[in-house]
Amino acid sequence: MLRRPALSLFLAGLIAFSVAADAGAAATPASDGAEPRRVAIVIDDFGNAMDGTEEMFALPAPITVAVMPFLPTTKRDAEEAHRRGHEVIVHLPMEPMRGKRSWLGPGAITTDLSDREIRNRVAAAIDDVPHARGMNNHMGSKATADPRVMRLVMEVCRERGLYFLDSRTTGKSKAETTAGDVGVPLVANDLFLDEIYTASHVHKQLRKLLRLIDEQSDTIAIGHVGPPGRITASALRGAMDRLQDEAAFVRVSELLPLPEPVPLWR
């Protein structure tokens, strides 16, 4: 009579052991005992029914979808991205050093605006993009280098609980210092995937991305819908197995720095 419970206890133990062994295997990196690597792919310029929109949504891993405010498909793209499990952020149009203002789109942040107007425009942009968890800049080589402008942008992000992703369109960006001052979680782009609209360029950038993943624990790369959209989506799809062998695909919000510990004394 004792044999049956003993056997089931043994089986239960065996199952518990194999579950624990599986969990251990999942937590251990595949190769050479290195730190587990994480990668976030951000795709900019949604909101205007751009080429590659559907192909990006259909990628078999979570991406972060940067949607421009006040455009014909702003709401539709943000809702669809959210529905499919991607992360949504506001892609805020900001003044570049060069280029036409008309490229910026509606509601752009320019350095000639008053403090009040900048705050109003940033808040309106956040209101226009449903499900937004963060924000990054569209263009912005001039506006992101302006500490007054960036402080105002960061203040609204803090009030609304958004993180900021610095696209790094200029080496003079004030995003990092102002985010630190205001208390907004900040991350930064490591690599643009498709500034040149050819498959060979995107493949070259994906090889660079693999090298970055090897060198650092967390990596963020930015691609685009629009002129390179289909090329980039197809290259990402082709590289997905290799990328997923090397790193866990995460949303940008999973890479945010932890809050600074509060000191016990000063």
**Cβ-contact 184, 157 below 8 angstroms:** yes
Closest distance between Zn ion and the C-beta of residue 167, in Å? Answer: 7
Question: What is the helix, strand, coil percentage profile of the chain, to 5?
Answer: 45, 20, 35
Distance CA 87, CA 244 (A): 18
Number of residues that bind Zn ion (CB under 5 A): 3
First-to-last alpha carbon distance for the chain, in angstroms, is: 68
Which span sits near Zn ion by CB under 5 A: 38-46, 126-134, 194-202, 247-255? Answer: 38-46
Buried b (16+ CB within 10 A) or exposed e, 180-203: eebebbbbebbbbbbeeeeeebbe
Residue 174 near Zn ion by CB under 5 A: no
Which span sits near Zn ion by CB under 5 A: 40-48, 146-154, 186-194, 198-206? Answer: 40-48
Map residues 1-30 to x or -, x wherever contact with Zn ion holds by CB under 5 A: ------------------------------
Two tokens at 185? 């979680």
Nearer to Zn ion, 46 or 57 (CB): 46
Nearer to Zn ion, 179 or 225 (CB): 225
Element (H, E) at 201: helix 199-215
Distance CA 169, CA 138 (A): 9
- Interaction residues for Zn ion, span 43-62 (CB under 5 A): 44-45
Closest CA to 250 of 223, 217, 215, 206: 217
Nearer to Zn ion, 44 or 55 (CB): 44
Tell me which residue has its CB nearest to Zn ion.
138
Which span sits near Zn ion by CB under 5 A: 39-47, 126-134, 145-153, 200-208? Answer: 39-47
Nearer to Zn ion, 44 or 128 (CB): 44
Closest distance between Zn ion and the C-beta of residue 95, in Å? Answer: 13
Two tokens at 212? 């970055």
Say whether 12 sits in a helix, a strand or coil.
helix
Nearer to Zn ion, 42 or 182 (CB): 42
Nearer to Zn ion, 44 or 218 (CB): 44
Residue 77 near Zn ion by CB under 5 A: no
Say whether 262 sits in a helix, a strand or coil.
coil
Distance CA 76, CA 9 (A): 54
Residue 138 near Zn ion by CB under 5 A: yes
Closest distance between Zn ion and the C-beta of residue 68, in Å? Answer: 7
Closest distance between Zn ion and the C-beta of residue 51, in Å? Answer: 14
Which span sits near Zn ion by CB under 5 A: 21-29, 138-146, 179-187, 253-261? Answer: 138-146
Buried b (16+ CB within 10 A) or exposed e, 163-175: bbbbbbbbeebbb
Distance CA 208, CA 27 (A): 26
Which span sits near Zn ion by CB under 5 A: 46-54, 82-90, 132-140, 243-251? Answer: 132-140
Which residue ranges make up the site for Zn ion (CB under 5 A)? Answer: 44-45, 138
